[in-house]
Amino acid sequence: MNRLRLTRSVAIGLAAVLLAATRTVSGDIVRDFRAEVSYDDNVSNSDRGADQRDDFSFAALAHVGWFGELARNLRLTLTADAEARAFTEYSDFNHIIIGATGSLRYRIGLGAMAPFVRVEASGGYANFQQDLQDGARYRAGLTIGKRVIDRLALEGSYFFDDIGGSVRLFDRCSHLLAASARWDFSEKTQVSFDYEFRDGAVISYARRPRPDIVPLVNTQGPVETFGPGYEAYNFDAVTHTLGLGVSQALTQSLSVNFRYEWQHTSRAHLTYTGNVLRLSARASF
């Protein structure tokens, strides 16, 4: 069984189990909405300054669903997910994603300080303005976490991502390890620190010719996302991401959030970096 079929089987199997479980328990409604504006100084993922392009994007995200207790320490969550994102200049990246997520969280012990284990799977379909990027996407993962002291919580995660495209060029699979720490400065202010290690296929854009990249690629193809003369290269690489976030609650259900991400991708002699800024408002109730 290849990776795509395995990931689909895990996602579909878990969803079937979770849906069946909802028939036997009562629960509450999940309503989570976010509006975001972001800036990426290297949206082209280019290693040469002359090829790098930056852009702003605006997004609306929604997660609506259900959660309930299957047992004393076991929680089930099911949501329908939607994302719409528009870029100010490079419209090929404009997209709408529709999907669903199911997760099971088991708390080992009682109280807020008890550690937990969460397994989750999600699947969906992305429709891009550039049809070549259209395709299904799947994610399966495991997270372990614990509140160490009243104000500090730690989490570690593993995820497998499978992103499909209508052509091989935009097919990507990757393994991701993540660690995060959240510090509550007060009842309304939280600061988060994150690190991600990602190993898998990436897409980098550069003007032709690039004979130094060609030996590394899985596949490549001409695109006009950034104008004539650009080529998209699909190759395996390692990406390190450092993130810093601040969340400020305005009311019990509304918060404003700022996040900065530094991304560093490398493969052999090829290296590129990017900086992403995100500002969002979130309503959850």
Q: What per-residue confidence (pLDDT) applies to 19?
A: 53
Largest CA distance in the chain: 61
Q: Quick one: how far is CA 11 from the chain centroid?
A: 16
Rounded to two decimals, what is the model's pTM? 0.89
63 CA to centre of own chain: 14
Average pLDDT over residues 174-196: 97
Other CB atoms closer than 10 Å to residue 198's CB: what's the count? 19
**Which amino acid appears at position 196 of this protein?**
E
31-67: pLDDT as tens digits:
999 999 999 999 999 999 999 999 999 999 999 999 9
Q: pLDDT band at 9, cuts 50/70/90? A: low
How confident is the model over 269-285, as a mean pLDDT?
97
Give me the pLDDT at residue 226, please: 96
Kindly tell me the burial class for residue 11, based on how many C-beta atoms sit within 10 Å of its own C-beta (0-12, 13-18, 19 or more).
buried
112: confidence class by pLDDT, cuts 50, 70, 90: confident
The CA distance from 254 to 262, in Å, is: 27
- Tens of pLDDT, residue by residue over 121-179, are 999 999 999 999 999 999 999 999 999 999 999 999 999 999 999 999 999 999 999 99
Tell me which amino acid residue 59 is: A
pLDDT digits (tens, 9 = 90+) for 71-109: 889 999 999 999 999 999 999 999 999 999 999 999 998
Is a pLDDT exceeding 80 seen at residue 265? yes
3-21 average pLDDT score: 51
Q: Alpha-carbon distance 34 to 175, whole Å?
A: 27
pLDDT tier, 1 (very low <50, low <70, confident <90, very high otherwise):
very low
Nearest alpha-carbon partner for 204 in 265, 262, 163: 265
Domains of the chain from N-terminus onward: 3-284 (2.40.160.40)
The one-letter amino acid code at 67 reads: F
Residue 231: per-residue pLDDT: 97
Report residue 17 as tokens. 């189990």
The span from the CA of 257 to the CA of 279, in Å, is 6
Which of residues 81 and 3 earns the better pLDDT score?
Answer: 81
From the list 197, 240, 198, 164, the residue with the least C-alpha distance to 11 is 164
How would you label 74-99 residue by residue, b for 16+ Cβ within 10 Å and e otherwise?
ebbbbbebbbebebeebebbebebeb
Distance set, CA 105 to CA 70, 91, 277 (Å): 10, 38, 31
Give the DSSP letter of residue 224. Answer: -
pLDDT tens, position by position, 201-260: 999 999 999 999 999 999 999 999 999 999 999 999 999 999 999 999 999 999 999 999
Let me know: does 102 contact 18? Beta carbons within 8 Å: yes
The amino acid that residue 223 corresponds to is V
Please enumerate in sequence order all residues whose Cβ is within 8 A of that of 4, keeping only pairs 6 or more positions apart, or say none.
138, 162, 164, 173
Report DSSP state, residue 115: -
